Amino acid sequence: MATTNPRRNDPLLLGADEQGAWPLPWLVEPMKRAKALQKAHALLLVGQAGVGQLELAGLLAQAHLCEDPTPRGPCGRCAACHLVRRRAHPDLLAVVPEAWRVRLNWLSEDEGGSKSDAKPSKDIRIEQVRQAIDWSHQTSGRGRGKVLLLHPADALNGPSANALLKTLEEPAPGLKLLLTSTDAERLLPTIRSRCQRVQLAAPPSDQAVAWLQAQGVADAPLLLALAGGSPLEALDLAAEGFESRLLAELPMLVAAGEAAPFVGRPLPRVIDLLLKLAHDLQARAAGGAPRFFVASRWPAAPDIGRLVDWQKALLRAARHDEHPWNAALLIESLVTQAEALWAETGTAPALHSAR
């Protein structure tokens, strides 16, 4: 199911527009913090997925390269701002894994046309880092320094992370590095320690809901909950066709072994939703409130031992989602395992109602 939302197709288009307005209003405050660190040559933008790390990096790059900056940030009108927004600025290089280039629709026309059998890499490869380092030593095209953006830095593998270290320690004169991360603890400590960290929190939910509604999202509160508070993730869920009726029934459908709602959806998305459901079932079993699903009905408390086993199976599947032997069969099997959570309680899930 392709995401059709144009915003997701190119976040860097989200830099300040001609009026200097930022479409992600919650970036104002982290932008201030990041700008206060402008002497640092490397920033690490950290936050949960979907809160706007790449968008903030785009804004910071634009602010750095802008030829008529305002106290608030980039002007949005100068030639440099236009070039950044079109990803055509010679002094901005965004290094992303192949899989992200596909996801962001950054493939050039000839790349898009020739489909190879190889799966796009999820890693930032060492050749990409080496090319970026070579690029960083060339003369700045417009004379305001250069910005090298790595998104997400979590995708650096061992060799590519090591190749980057020297540049992080002694960058070429005028080079600014912007790294994004959803899980900074997984980065090499030597990478982390060479960057100043800017933490991004999810926006307050009323702000996020208002923003989602302005994007035309109908079930904003529900999708925001399912996205764990990340507005951009909620926007993706909306674009993937998740709507309130389906989501409200999903816990009961899974408990009844119904895999139909997941047919044709990408495996990582399905596993993510099942993991969230497992989390909520566990929370409810412990007497707490569910975090992700706003369901109209919940199945009875499942067998906890089996729930833990199911969670482990889901985590295993999440680790191997690059090589599914057969995604449809795997989904079927994971949902069948979910149904078995209730097998020994003797309750037919479909007959249980509300909390």
Please identify, among the stretches 63-71, 190-198, 286-294, 306-314, the one whose residues bind Zn ion according to the rule CB under 5 A. Answer: 63-71
Nearest to 69 by CA among 175, 144, 148, 171: 144
Nearest to 200 by CA among 73, 27, 78: 27
Nearer to Zn ion, 78 or 340 (CB): 78
Asked if 248 interacts with Zn ion (CB under 5 A), we say no
Shortest CB 190 distance to Zn ion, Å:
34
CB 293 within 8 A of CB 251: yes
CB 43 within 8 A of CB 196: yes
In this structure, what token pair is assigned to residue 8?
């997701």
Would you tell me how many other CB atoms lie within 10 Å of the CB of residue 278? Answer: 22
Asked if 84 interacts with Zn ion (CB under 5 A), we say no
Please identify, among the stretches 4-12, 23-31, 64-72, 316-324, the one whose residues bind Zn ion according to the rule CB under 5 A. Answer: 64-72
Nearer to Zn ion, 65 or 250 (CB): 65
Shortest CB 72 distance to Zn ion, Å:
12
Nearer to Zn ion, 54 or 63 (CB): 63
Shortest CB 70 distance to Zn ion, Å:
8
Asked if 81 interacts with Zn ion (CB under 5 A), we say yes
Beta bridge partners of 44: 179, 197
Asked if 78 interacts with Zn ion (CB under 5 A), we say yes
Nearer to Zn ion, 76 or 229 (CB): 76
CA distance 349 to 256: 6
Shortest CB 288 distance to Zn ion, Å:
48
Please identify, among the stretches 29-37, 81-89, 147-155, 312-320, the one whose residues bind Zn ion according to the rule CB under 5 A. Answer: 81-89
Nearer to Zn ion, 78 or 133 (CB): 78
Nearest to 341 by CA among 300, 312, 288: 300
Shortest CB 79 distance to Zn ion, Å:
8
CA atoms within a 13 Å half-sphere pointing along the CA-CB vector of 30: 28
Shortest CB 61 distance to Zn ion, Å:
11
Site for Zn ion (CB under 5 A): how many residues? 5
Nearest to 82 by CA among 105, 59, 99, 62: 62
Shortest CB 281 distance to Zn ion, Å:
50
Nearer to Zn ion, 15 or 231 (CB): 15
Please identify, among the stretches 65-73, 99-107, 186-194, 263-271, the one whose residues bind Zn ion according to the rule CB under 5 A. Answer: 65-73
- The binder of Zn ion chosen from 31, 44, 59, 66 (CB under 5 A): 66
Nearer to Zn ion, 30 or 74 (CB): 74
Beta bridge partners of 156: 124
- The binder of Zn ion chosen from 75, 155, 200, 225 (CB under 5 A): 75
Would you tell me how many other CB atoms lie within 10 Å of the CB of residue 127? Answer: 11
CA distance 261 to 218: 19
Residue span 97-126 as binding mask against Zn ion, x where in contact by CB under 5 A, dash where not: ------------------------------
Using CA of residue 111, residue 112, residue 113, residue 117, what is the dihedral sign? positive
CA distance 254 to 355: 17
Give, as ranges, the residues between 263 and 282 that touch Zn ion (CB under 5 A). none
DSSP code string of 230-261: -HHHHHHHHHTT--HHHHHHHHHHHHTT--GG
Nearer to Zn ion, 140 or 196 (CB): 140
Nearest to 61 by CA among 73, 77, 78, 49: 73
Q: Which contiguous run of DSSP H or E holds residue 44?
A: strand 42-46
Cα-atom radius of gyration of the chain, to the nearest Å? Answer: 22
Please identify, among the stretches 74-82, 260-268, 301-309, 345-353, the one whose residues bind Zn ion according to the rule CB under 5 A. Answer: 74-82
Shortest CB 175 distance to Zn ion, Å:
20
Contacting residues toward Zn ion, per CB under 5 A:
66, 74-75, 78, 81
